């Protein structure tokens, strides 16, 4: 089985659907794993400059060098925007990075991770140990199943969460359903009254602004408060990754953190701080006019 995206010792990420006309390349130092799980093609390699790299269906998901910029922002923005986040649900995130960040919060009593592809978890534990360090944390419960099915079952059982983090891969293959109105409705139903949900948008304002606008329009059909923010991740095409944040309660302020990191919490963060939280919602004029006016 050939390895897609490999050319003369370089991994080249190309996707006509997600970022037509652009590509991102990393020099390969050694191959660590390549194969197919039940759901997708999985590649792990050691790069020359970004450490170990996880690739799903030809798209870079995480590298050891810059993963914290994404994991910290998608985790801490909703957690610090909530007064007392106790019960957290993570959908996707089989690499464990979000889990690592969520358990840093003393207020969190339980974290449920729902991941459909066990292979991602297994490989993360082997090749991305700094990301997957929280899988054995006593607050963590892992469910190997489809996120949609879990949310439907949670609704039937009247389960509610304070924070839901959708850490899915791009809207292709098994993650495609995570970007539809039905999914936002399931998220809304699974939140407590003051609950907050955050999801990666798979795009940023430089790549596909109209897609983000459409996604926010869909979310606003369900949630009374919807905002867009972003983080900088060098190994994502164009260097930014967008996040959509939704509050169940009218008037929820997602832009200003309601809590501040303690000294100990801040010492364990490399990207997030309270100023970065608010600054990440500030958009260039053309993007602000498109998305929020």
3-state secondary structure the chain: CCCCCEECCEEEECCHHHHCCCCEEEEEEEEEEEEECCCCEEEEEEECCCCEEEEECCEEEEECCCHHHHHHHHHHHHHHCCCCCCEEEEEECCCCHHHHHHCCCCCCCEEEEECCCHHHHHHHHHHCCCCCCCCCCCCEEEECCCHHHHHHHHHHCCCCEEEEEEECCCCCHHHHHHHCHHHHHHHHHCEEEEEEEEEECCCCCCCCHHHHHHHHHHHHCCCCEEEEEEEECCCCHHHEEEEEEEECCCCCCCCCCCCCCCHHHHHCCCCCCHHHHHHCCCCCHHHHHHHHC
In CATH, the number for domain 6-63 is 2.30.140.10
What's residue 168's pLDDT? 74
Question: Which residue in 260, 263, 269, 251 sits closest to 196, CA to CA?
Answer: 251
What's residue 69's pLDDT? 98
What's residue 130's pLDDT? 96
What's residue 170's pLDDT? 52
Question: Which residue in 186, 234, 241, 183 sits closest to 212, CA to CA?
Answer: 241
Start and end residues for every CATH 3.40.50.150 domain found in the chain? 67-292
Per residue of the chain (293 residues), give pLDDT as tens: 467 778 889 999 886 655 667 888 999 999 999 999 999 999 999 999 999 999 999 989 999 999 999 999 999 999 999 999 999 999 999 999 999 999 999 999 999 999 999 999 999 999 999 999 999 999 999 999 999 899 999 988 999 999 999 997 554 544 455 567 889 999 999 999 999 999 998 789 998 899 899 999 999 999 999 999 999 999 988 899 999 999 999 999 999 999 999 999 999 999 999 999 999 999 999 999 999 98
Could you confirm whether 16 is annotated as catalytic?
Answer: no
In CATH, the number for domain 67-292 is 3.40.50.150
Question: Which residue in 1, 29, 25 sits closest to 12, CA to CA?
Answer: 25
Start and end residues for every CATH 2.30.140.10 domain found in the chain? 6-63
Taking the whole predicted model, whether its pTM rises above 0.85 is answered as yes
Question: Which residue in 120, 119, 103, 121 sits closest to 111, CA to CA?
Answer: 103
What's residue 108's pLDDT? 97
Instruction: Find all residues with CB under 8 Å of 275, minimum gap 6, and list them.
Output: none
What's residue 20's pLDDT? 66
What whole-number distance in Å separates Cα of residue 97 and Cα of residue 253?
26
**Burial readout 60-71 (b: 16 or more C-beta within 10 A, e: otherwise):** bbbbbebbbbbb
What's residue 171's pLDDT? 47
Q: Are 42 and 62 in contact (CB under 8 A)?
A: no
Q: Which of 57, 66, 95, 167 is catalytic?
A: 167
Instruction: Find all residues with CB under 8 Å of 124, minimum gap 6, and list them.
Output: 54, 94, 95, 96, 131, 132
């Amino acid at each position: 089985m050939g390895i897609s995206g490999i050319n003369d010792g370089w991994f080249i990420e190309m996707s006509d659907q997600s970022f037509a006309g652009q590509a991102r390349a990393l020099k390969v130092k050694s191959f660590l794993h390549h194969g197919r799980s039940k759901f997708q093609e999985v590649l792990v390699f050691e790069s020359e400059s970004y450490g170990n790299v996880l690739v799903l269906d030809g798209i870079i998901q995480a590298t050891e060098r810059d993963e914290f910029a994404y994991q910290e922002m998608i985790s801490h923005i909703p957690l610090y925007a909530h007064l007392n986040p106790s019960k957290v649900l993570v959908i996707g995130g089989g690499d464990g990075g979000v889990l690592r960040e969520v358990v840093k919060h003393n207020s969190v009593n339980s974290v449920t991770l729902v991941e459909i592809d066990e292979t991602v978890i297994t490989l993360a534990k082997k090749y991305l140990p700094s990301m997957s360090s929280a899988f054995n944390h006593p607050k963590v419960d892992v469910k190997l199943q489809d996120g949609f099915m879990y949310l439907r079952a949670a609704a039937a059982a009247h389960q509610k969460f304070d924070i839901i983090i959708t850490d899915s891969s791009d809207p292709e293959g098994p993650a495609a359903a995570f970007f539809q109105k039905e999914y936002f409705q399931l998220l809304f139903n699974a939140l407590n009254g003051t609950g907050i949900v955050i999801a990666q948008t798979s795009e940023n304002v430089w790549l596909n602004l109209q897609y983000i606008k459409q996604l926010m329009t869909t979310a606003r059909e369900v949630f009374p408060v919807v905002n867009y923010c972003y983080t900088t991740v060098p190994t994502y095409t164009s260097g930014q990754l967008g996040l959509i944040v939704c509050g169940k309660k009218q008037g929820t302020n997602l832009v200003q953190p309601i809590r501040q990191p303690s000294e100990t919490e801040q010492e364990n963060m490399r990207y997030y701080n309270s100023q970065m939280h608010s600054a990440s919602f500030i958009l260039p004029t053309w993007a602000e006019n498109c998305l929020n006016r």
